């Protein structure tokens, strides 16, 4: 098996665009398997941002001077590019730039949730939600009197769809579901859940933080009402995230933050709001980051999102199988295949996940250990923490081998 071409991506050529992957620690080359937390940034993205700072840096909102015009156009274009990437036909009006997925979820919760929810309403989450959704809706529910329900995760790591049908009722105001679980790797049937929500007159929000970077996503095919993701997990910069919302719904929503750049008319008594999406983007926005996100989308589309998905699935399957062969490794989430994204969470018998991550670090293998912002799910799994290896377009089979080989050291030291 070729170690360089995984799926049909030319991994060697891809790696050449990421100087950070050349780093070594005490002579050992870095093996970066923490991509579900943050991916690295390829040269075309770094270049686009540097170029923006070198040539067009200015504030947006259509200043009269040339640089401001250029910055405004670049910023606006980035919205259109993202809309196109995720199949939002309403273009820039449906794409709100935020700081990250977490802020996108808070925007929805504060803007729509606080105003629309009441004691008779239910918000349906799943047991595998990231704290970004779970904590946010818990708090909004407390403030509005709404209640929160959780669709159960079954023993295979998938959503119990029978339970979903019981949970989603005419009392449901919103279903909030993670598209690809950052802990279990499960790819959830979001289109089916959207249908269920809509059948009961509810909206659906999809947390796509792990999905948009790793597979083709079409928000209109899913029929998501709202959808969120982060730039830094998709070869883009930190500091920028996206909230997609159907135009009609965003139009009806109140702003979440107030200030300059989002208004139409201000008097001493009152103010009115500007057009979408600017109504939700007050103050100086992440302009260079938007330029970087635009470049990241170009970069990913050039690789081909179907190929990215195939690469993710193949590496996850390889890692899953190699870890499963070990006998003393417990793996969480579905078996490899179309229902598993490119990450594997696991525990090595007798070794705390943090100790394991620390031993891995001695081998220059970067993995994550902890609850991955899914504490209640870990409680359900009966563990306080897990180790997580997550893959991106530049990872290879050899890097998975390095992960598996380092397990021996952990056994010797701790087990």
Contact of 411 with 355, CB cutoff 8 Å: no
CA distance 303 to 7: 12
Q: Which is nearer to ligand PMP, 172 or 230 (CB)?
A: 230
Q: Does 386 interact with ligand PMP (rule: CB under 6 A)?
A: no
Q: Does 373 interact with ligand PMP (rule: CB under 6 A)?
A: yes
At its nearest, how many Å lie between ligand PMP and the CB of residue 32? Answer: 16
Site string for ligand PMP, 235-274 (x = CB under 6 A): ------x---------------------------------
- The residue range among 146-154, 202-210, 284-292, 345-353 that interacts with ligand PMP, by the rule CB under 6 A, is 202-210
Catalytic residue among 373, 387, 389, 407: 373
Q: Which is nearer to ligand PMP, 56 or 102 (CB)?
A: 102
The encoded tokens of residue 112 equal 């729509």
CB within 8 Å of 386: residues ≥ 6 apart: 183, 332, 345, 346, 347, 353, 369, 370, 371, 372, 378
DSSP 29-44: EPEE-BTTT-----HH
Q: Does 207 interact with ligand PMP (rule: CB under 6 A)?
A: yes
Q: Which is nearer to ligand PMP, 130 or 340 (CB)?
A: 130
Peptide bond into 375 cis (omega under 30): no
CB within 8 Å of 67: residues ≥ 6 apart: 56, 57, 58
Q: Is 373 considered catalytic here?
A: yes
> Among 164, 173, 209, 297, which residue interacts with ligand PMP (rule: CB under 6 A)?
209
Contact of 317 with 397, CB cutoff 8 Å: no
Q: Tell me the H-state helices in 285-345.
A: 287-303, 305-325
> Among 102, 111, 126, 347, which residue interacts with ligand PMP (rule: CB under 6 A)?
102
The encoded tokens of residue 358 equal 């620390």
Q: How many residues bind ligand PMP (CB under 6 A)?
A: 14
Contact residues for ligand PMP, defined by CB under 6 A: 36, 100-102, 130, 132, 178, 182, 207, 209-210, 230, 241, 373
Catalytic residues, by residue number, are 373
């Amino acid at each position: 098996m070729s170690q360089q071409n995984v799926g049909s991506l030319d991994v060697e050529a891809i790696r050449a665009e990421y100087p950070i992957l050349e780093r070594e620690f005490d002579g050992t080359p870095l093996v970066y398997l923490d991509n579900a937390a943050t991916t690295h940034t390829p040269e075309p993205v770094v270049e686009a941002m540097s170029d923006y700072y070198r040539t067009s840096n200015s504030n947006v909102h259509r200043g009269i001077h040339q640089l401001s015009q250029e910055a405004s156009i670049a910023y606006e274009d980035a919205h259109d590019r993202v809309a196109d990437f995720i199949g939002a036909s309403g273009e820039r009006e449906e794409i709100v730039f935020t700081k990250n997925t977490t802020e996108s979820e808070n925007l929805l919760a504060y803007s729509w949730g606080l105003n629309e929810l009441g004691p008779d309403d239910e918000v349906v989450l799943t047991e595998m939600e990231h704290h970004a959704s779970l904590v946010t809706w818990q708090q909004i529910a407390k403030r509005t009197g709404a209640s929160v329900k959780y669709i159960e995760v079954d023993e295979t790591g998938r959503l119990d769809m029978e339970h979903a049908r019981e949970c989603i009722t005419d009392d449901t105001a919103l279903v909030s579901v993670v598209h690809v679980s950052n802990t279990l790797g499960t790819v959830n049937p979001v289109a089916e859940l959207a249908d269920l929500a809509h059948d009961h007159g509810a909206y659906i929000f999809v947390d796509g933080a792990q999905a948009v970077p790793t597979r083709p996503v079409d928000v209109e095919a899913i029929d998501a009402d709202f959808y969120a993701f982060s730039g830094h997990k998709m070869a883009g910069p930190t500091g920028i995230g996206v909230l997609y919302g159907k135009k009609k719904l965003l139009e009806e929503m109140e702003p979440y933050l107030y200030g300059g750049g989002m208004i139409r008319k201000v008097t001493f008594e009152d103010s009115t709001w500007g057009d979408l999406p600017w109504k939700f983007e007050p103050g100086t926005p992440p302009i260079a980051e938007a330029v970087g996100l635009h470049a990241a989308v170009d970069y990913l589309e050039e690789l081909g999102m179907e190929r990215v998905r195939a690469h993710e699935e193949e590496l996850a399957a390889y890692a899953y199988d190699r870890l499963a062969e070990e006998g003393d490794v417990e793996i969480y989430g579905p078996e490899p295949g179309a229902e598993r994204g490119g990450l594997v969470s696991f525990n090595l018998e007798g070794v705390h996940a943090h100790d394991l991550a620390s031993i891995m670090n001695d081998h220059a293998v970067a993995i994550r250990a902890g609850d991955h912002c899914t504490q209640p799910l870990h409680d359900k799994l009966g563990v306080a923490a897990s180790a997580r290896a997550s893959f991106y377009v530049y990872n290879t089979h050899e890097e998975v081998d390095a992960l598996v080989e380092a397990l021996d050291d952990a056994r010797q030291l701790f087990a």
